[in-house]
């Protein structure tokens, strides 16, 4: 996973910023973050809302590796509030998981240098941020098209966990993912794991100007020139900073944390619906 910085996520701790982001998502897709998570997981909306409202989430900071990211735990607590989920920030590391148990948390959110995941305290089930993020952003791109896929091609930039999961979801939704990654071995593996996806080659079009639908799951550290992208294209971009820069030439939805967290929470919590 890409390590976020305080500047990437600081605004997410503010309720006004989250509401502004959700309103932008609504304007592009017609759904809010709860409805998006439900759609991404093929779950009904009503029970999804009820499940999230019944959760108590312990946000457990992790001090291992490169240590804490300033504002990360606060941002997660704000996202939980946006989703109608109760939460608290626990003590760091092992003490935090002990506190979660003592306070009756149903879910925990924790992140280290390698993974960010949500664990169910009730069902020994966990969900991981990379696959959840890819699935959520693929769903956003599908909703942005409005009129349905009609077997349209989507350029998927990046073949890591986010890009792979995004490609798999796009196939489920009726799209044709075309996967590009500068690491050819990684791209080939992703195509094998996503039957129906194609490996990009020059015969499929020029990257990225010949594609009007793009899922930017790349780990690009420097954005490409905006002229490289087709005017009027629709771009769903979980990558930070990613290949796609902001521009009025195309429609871009990018955010670093909310989509993946929402899908993770609902996926880990869903089995509890049987006990409601």
Per-residue pLDDT for 257 more than 50?
yes
Give the CATH number of domain 6-130+258-275.
3.40.50.12150
Per-residue pLDDT for 188 more than 80?
yes
Q: Higher confidence at residue 133 or residue 10?
A: 133
User: In angstroms, how far is CA 72 from the centroid of its own chain?
Assistant: 16
Q: What is the pLDDT of residue 179?
A: 98
Handedness of CA 24, 28, 33, 34 (dihedral sign): positive
Q: What is the pLDDT of residue 112?
A: 84
Q: What is the pLDDT of residue 15?
A: 74
Per-residue pLDDT for 69 more than 90?
no
6-130+258-275 matches 131-254 in fold: yes
Where are the alpha helices (H) located in the chain, listed in sequence order? 6-9, 15-29, 33-40, 45-53, 72-82, 93-102, 129-145, 161-172, 184-193, 258-269
- Mean pLDDT within 61-82: 86
Going from N- to C-terminal start, the domains of the chain cover: 6-130+258-275, 131-254
Burial class (CB in 10 A: 0-12, 13-18, 19+), 180: buried
CA–CA dist 172, 135 (Å, integer): 10
Per-residue pLDDT for 274 more than 60?
no
Statement: 131-254 belongs to CATH 3.40.50.2000: no
Per-residue pLDDT for 276 more than 80?
no
Q: Higher confidence at residue 215 or residue 148?
A: 215
φ and ψ of 53, to 5 deg: -70, -20
- Mean pLDDT within 229-245: 92
Query: Does residue 77 have a cis peptide bond before it, meaning omega lies within 30 degrees of 0?
Result: no
CA–CA dist 200, 262 (Å, integer): 31
| pLDDT > 70 in the chain, percent | 93
Q: Higher confidence at residue 240 or residue 59?
A: 59
Per-residue pLDDT for 5 more than 90?
no
- Mean pLDDT within 159-170: 97
Per-residue pLDDT for 236 more than 70?
yes
Q: Is 266 helix (H, G, I), strand (E, B) or coil?
A: helix
- Mean pLDDT within 20-32: 96
Q: What's the mean pLDDT when you consider all of the chain? A: 91
Confidence band for 8, pLDDT divided at 50, 70 and 90 = low
pTM (global) more than 0.85: yes
Q: Are 144 and 29 in contact (CB under 8 A)?
A: yes
- Mean pLDDT within 184-203: 96
């Amino acid at each position: 996973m890409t390590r976020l910085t305080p500047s990437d996520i600081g605004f997410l701790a503010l309720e006004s910023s989250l509401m502004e982001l959700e309103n932008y998502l609504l304007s592009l897709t017609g759904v809010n973050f709860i409805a998006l998570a439900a759609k991404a997981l093929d779950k009904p909306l009503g029970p999804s809302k009820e499940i999230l409202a019944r959760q108590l989430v312990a946000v457990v900071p992790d001090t291992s590796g490169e240590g804490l990211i300033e504002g990360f735990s606060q941002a997660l607590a704000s996202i939980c509030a946006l989703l109608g989920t109760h939460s608290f920030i626990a003590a760091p590391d092992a003490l935090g998981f002990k506190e979660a148990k003592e306070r009756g948390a149903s879910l925990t959110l924790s992140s280290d240098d390698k993974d960010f995941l949500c664990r169910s305290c009730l069902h020994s089930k966990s969900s991981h941020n990379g696959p959840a993020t890819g699935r959520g952003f693929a769903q956003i791109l599908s909703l942005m098209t409005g009129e349905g896929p009609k077997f349209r091609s989507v350029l998927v930039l990046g073949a890591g966990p986010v890009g792979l999961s995004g490609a798999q979801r796009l196939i489920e939704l009726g799209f044709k993912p075309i996967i590009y990654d500068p690491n050819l071995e990684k791209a080939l593996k992703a195509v094998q794991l996503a039957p129906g996806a194609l490996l990009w080659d020059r015969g499929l079009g020029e990257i990225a100007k010949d594609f009007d639908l793009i899922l930017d799951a790349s780990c690009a550290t420097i954005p490409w020139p905006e002229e490289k992208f087709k005017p009027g294209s629709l771009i769903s971009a979980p990558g930070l900073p990613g290949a796609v820069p902001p521009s009025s030439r195309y429609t871009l939805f990018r955010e670093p944390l909310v989509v993946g967290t929402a899908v993770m929470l609902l996926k880990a919590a869903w089995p509890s619906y049987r006990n409601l």
